[in-house]
Structure 1
Amino acid sequence: MPRKKVNIPNHRFPDQTTSGVIIASIESTRWEDLDIHKPHRDNHFHLLVVTRGQWTMQVDFETIQIKAPGFLRLLSGQVHQLMDAKSAQGWAIAADPSTLPLELATLLETRVPLTIPLKHNAFFKQITELLALMCNVYSSGTDIYKGKSVHFMFNAFLTLLVGEITYLSPENARQEKRGSIIWQSFQVSLKANFKTMKSPAAYAAKLSITTSHLNDTIKDITGKSVSAHIQEQIIFEAKRLLYFTDKEVREIAFDLGYPDSAHFGKLFRKATGLTPLHFRRQFRD
């Protein structure tokens, strides 16, 4: 009997949220009632601050354990699922990227790693007090002024977080700040168009800059060329579809903009050292 072919669900941010941010205390949320225990994507950011206990998730192909005190950051598009939350306490935050200041959204994507082990220091005290207040205001009502207050407090939280990371690794701060608007715009365009646009020139035209300027800027910030980012996005999405769905290779190739599945197979093998089917057998079956 053939396997059922499935797509990866994509959860959308609620339209009715006035602040562009949702925050909940981990211990007061019935996680078993939420549809997050199966692989899915979100079209928004997820941040988690664990103050007690342990939180376990699968993020793309990796099992991530956050032990208190710790922090987790999920970007839109990442495939993830909750595995376990052992007596965890803290806060879970969802944020609509379109409501964030461009600089903060860029820093969240480029400066903040997937996980951060925290310490019981002054920074930890500041953010936990801020998140407790933010959660209290959020849960006390939904009028526009409270919504704005929650939004401003979330921006303050992100600013403190990025400041702490920059303090711990100042050598990269200046480099990653340069060209941040171009980098952010390229990321947005890449996520939206990688299935149909495969060349650096196409993205440069979309951003109304020269190909060389785009490539130099992206390479200065990330150390990788535009072509490398395009290929990474394609291959990573291919891995997600191979791992989380039962689609045939030819279907995945077509979904990613490659009518010739043999050509797609060669690109995948060149990038990973494995054929698509070998990858599926090795990492899933």
Structure 2
Amino acid sequence: MKDIIPVHKLYERSSAGMEVIYFDNVQERASILSAHRDDHYIFLYQEKGESNFMLDFKSLLVNDRAILYVLPGQVHHSINSKNVSGWFLAIDTLLVNEEYRTVFEQYIISNGPISLDDAKAEKFKQCLKLLHERFLLIEEPLSRAIAHSLAQSYIGMVAEAYLSQTQFGQKQNTRPVQINSQFRSLLLANFKTIKGPSEYAEKLNISLTYLNEVVKGLTGFPVSYWIHNEIVLEAKRLLYYTDLTVKEISFELGFSDHTYFSRLFTKFAGTSAGAFRAIYRK
């Protein structure tokens, strides 16, 4: 069955695990028909202008210099842009440091825009200029690794900015948010050994129906999606950073049937494990 809300997949646009675009003086009015999810992170730095868009049914108005991020799975679409300039970074979750992911996925309840003063704006701008320049040379020797490192630095600065604001801001502490955070913590600690959604619900002492309702309501995807997402993400790490075979990786991730693991990876990642390794290591 076709998704009602389409999911944009980064691998269909880039084999580098990231995409960096500079946009200048953009003026457009978009339609709700452009609403979509992404299977990757998006980081936006607006240098000037005014933009308005929907993020998980919240209308966000971004004025002048500001940063904003979009989590994998969040529904979003542009409403209009007026003389907007800045940078767009799309990046595979694999390439986002786990400590930064924890900030974005657990500690930050509302990922609205953060305005930047002159000093901070200049630091973000310089980092993004370097990243964009290196991305344009992505096929040259070492450029891919350098671009990935620069992206980590930029994302770390974004995480720091959001975490700093949250520490002094009002935190939302509703029951669904607490449950989702507890589920994410359990998942990160147990995804190699626990793969059934019902087992996570049991550990949280709630019904699977309620857990799915909470997780999907907050993230856009059910419990099973996030279990598979974590498994495939760790598999990507092992494919990228080690020389383990696909069979060895499947066993490392708790699968007794490596052919089942291979099918799962291909279905979720949109490419086979072998092809993923070849693309990312070239």
Band of TM-score, shorter chain: 0.5 to 0.7
Alignment partner, residue 79 of structure 1: 75
- What is aligned with 1:231? 213
After superposition, the Cα gap between the structure-2 partners of 1:58 and 1:184, relative to the gap in structure 1 and judged at 3 Å, is same
Q: Does 1:134 align with 2:126?
A: no
Give the Cα–Cα distance (whole angstroms) in 2 for the partners of residues 145 and 238 of structure 1.
37
Contact 1:55 1:85 (8 Å CA) reproduced: yes
One-letter amino acid matched to 1:100: V
Tell me the distance in 1 between the aligned counterparts of 2:32 and 2:165.
33
Unpaired segments of 5 or more residues in structure 2?
170-180, 222-282
Q: What is the CA-CA distance between 1:97 and the residue it aligns to? A: 0.5
* Distance (whole Å) between structure 2 residues aligned to residue 79 and residue 188 of structure 1: 27
- In 1, Cα distance between equivalents of 2:3 and 2:39: 19
Counterpart of 2:55 in structure 1: which amino acid? V
Structure 1: give runs of 5+ residues left out of the alignment.
173-179, 206-210, 216-225, 240-285
- How far is 1:152 from its partner? 0.7
Work out the CA distance in 2 between the residues paired with 1:77 and 1:91: 21
Distance change (3 Å), C-alpha of 1:53 and 1:122: same
Inter-CA distance 35–15: structure 2 relative to 1 (3 Å threshold): farther
> For the residues of structure 2 that align with 1:26 and 1:98, how far apart are their CA atoms?
25
The match for 1:27 among 24, 29, 37 is 24
Q: CA offsets per residue over residues 178-237 of structure 1, 9 Å max, x none?
A: xx99835637999xx99x83x5xx1278xxxxx26xx8xxxxxxxxxx997643224458
Residue pair 2:10, 2:18 contacting (<8 A) in 1 also: no
**Structure-to-structure mapping, 1:183-198, within 5 angstroms:** 183=184, 186=187, 197=197
> Which protein has the larger Cα radius of gyration, Structure 1 or Structure 2?
1
Question: CA-atom RMSD, angstroms?
Answer: 4.2
- Distance, in Å, in 1 between the alignment partners of 2:77 and 2:25 is 19
Report whether the alignment pairs 1:108 with 2:109.
no
* 1:155 counterpart (152, 155, 176): 152
- For normalisation by structure 1, the TM-score amounts to 0.58
Q: Tell me if structure 2 keeps the 8 A contact 1:37–1:82.
A: no
The answer to whether the 8 A contact 1:10-1:41 is kept is: yes
Are positions 1:94 and 2:90 aligned together?
A: yes
Aligned residues: 206
What are the residue-to-residue correspondences of 1:2-17 with 2, within 5 Å? 7-14=4-11, 17=14
